């Protein structure tokens, strides 16, 4: 099983618990399901994750973030979803310590990352000028189209309105998420990036970690 499936399942469960199990009336759940399908997550897994939200065995899932410094002065922002915050902070701290990094105080690095709505879509057959005008009204900051992939960026508060535009215009969205984008990305050597990516991989292997962001200029 792909290591991303448990993370996707947790996102689906959280969305269903927050807004109900019907994706037609729960836009957050609809987005979580879409992202799961984009990763080829089986329908049975998706259905189980939705049902789990109403089960007695599901605990309170808390979304929490941690900040840290990695090898070669790299900066990290780690987003978690967990039923046990003590376990999460212990695991994340241990991973940093064992891989050339260290945890930082909460909020110490947050200002170095901008939280953005990022929507990936298929531009084939799309009237891009119409789409862009509609998205600008919804809070679009930047639209990029290259080949068979389009990307729309906006402030994190515009996520709901932007996804509604894509739905209303019938544009195929392949992924939609809130991401942390470094406002001052840094360049590193290939050897340094290898060390940084090793820490990223260790963090992403943890069951509570949903996303890892760095200030590496990719």
Helices assigned H by DSSP within 54-155: 85-98, 128-138
Does the pLDDT value for residue 199 go beyond 90? yes
Average pLDDT of span 48-56: 85
Q: Within the chain, how many helices (H) and strands (E) appear?
A: 7, 8
- Give me the pLDDT at residue 55, please: 76
Pairwise pLDDT comparison (3 vs 131), residue with the higher score: 131
Exposed/middle/buried for residue 198 (C-beta within 10 Å: 0-12, 13-18, 19+): middle
**Percent above pLDDT 90 for the chain:** 83
Rounded Cα distance between 100 and 195, Å, is: 8
Give the number of other Cβ atoms within 10 Å of residue 128's Cβ: 12
Residues 180-200, mean pLDDT to the nearest whole number = 96
Residues in the chain: 218
Distance CA 57, CA 45 (A): 17
C-alpha 218/C-alpha 210 separation (Å) is 20
SS3 217: coil
| pLDDT number for residue 20 | 92
Kindly indicate the confidence band of residue 58, based on its pLDDT and cuts at 50, 70 and 90. Answer: low
Q: How many CB atoms lie within 10 A of CB 119?
A: 26
Domains in the chain, start-ordered, CATH in brackets?
4-52 (1.10.10.200), 113-182 (3.30.70.980)
Alpha helices in the chain (DSSP H): 4-19, 27-38, 43-52, 85-98, 128-138, 159-169, 190-205
What is the pLDDT, as a whole number, of residue 1? Answer: 45
The confidence score (pLDDT) of residue 53 equals 86
Q: Report residue 3's pLDDT band, with 50, 70 and 90 as the boundaries.
A: confident
pLDDT at 121 over 80: yes
CB 48 within 8 A of CB 35: no
d(CA 177, CA 195): 27
Rg of the chain (C-alpha set): 18
Task: Summarize the confidence of residues 127-151 as an average pLDDT.
Answer: 96
Please, what is the average pLDDT of the chain?
Answer: 93
State yes or no: pLDDT of 161 exceeds 50: yes
Q: Which two tokens stand for residue 68?
A: 């840290």
- Residue 86 has a pLDDT of 96
C-alpha 217: how far from chain center: 18
Q: What share of the chain is helix, strand, coil (3-state, %, to 5)?
A: 45, 30, 25
Q: Which of 5-9, 126-130, 141-145 has the lowest mean pLDDT?
A: 5-9
Output 57 or 195, whichever has higher pLDDT: 195
- The mean pLDDT value for 46-59 works out to 82
User: What pLDDT band is residue 56 in, cutting at 50, 70 and 90?
Assistant: low
pLDDT (tens digit, 9 = 90+) per residue, 61-110?
A: 889 999 999 999 999 999 999 989 999 999 999 999 999 999 999 999 98
């Amino acid at each position: 099983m792909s290591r991303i499936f448990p993370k996707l399942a947790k996102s689906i469960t959280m969305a269903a618990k927050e807004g109900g199990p019907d994706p037609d009336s729960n836009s957050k759940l609809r987005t979580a399901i879409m992202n799961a399908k984009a990763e080829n997550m089986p329908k049975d897994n998706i259905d189980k994750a939705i049902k789990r939200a109403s089960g007695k065995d599901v605990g309170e899932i808390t979304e929490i973030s941690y900040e840290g410094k990695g090898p070669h002065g790299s900066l990290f922002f780690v987003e978690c979803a967990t039923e046990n915050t003590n376990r999460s902070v212990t695991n994340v701290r241990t991973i940093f310590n064992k891989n050339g990094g260290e945890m930082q105080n909460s909020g110490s690095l947050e200002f170095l990352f901008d939280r953005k709505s990022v929507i990936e879509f298929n531009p084939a057959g799309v009237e891009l000028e119409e789409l862009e005008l509609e998205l600008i009204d919804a809070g679009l900051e930047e639209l990029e189209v290259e080949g068979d992939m389009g990307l729309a960026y906006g402030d994190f508060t515009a996520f709901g309105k932007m996804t509604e535009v894509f739905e209303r215009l019938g544009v195929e969205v392949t992924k939609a998420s809130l991401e942390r984008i470094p406002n001052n990305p840094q360049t590193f050597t290939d050897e340094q990036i290898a060390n940084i990516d090793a820490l990223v991989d260790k963090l992403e292997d943890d069951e509570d970690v949903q996303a890892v962001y760095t200030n590496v200029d990719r």
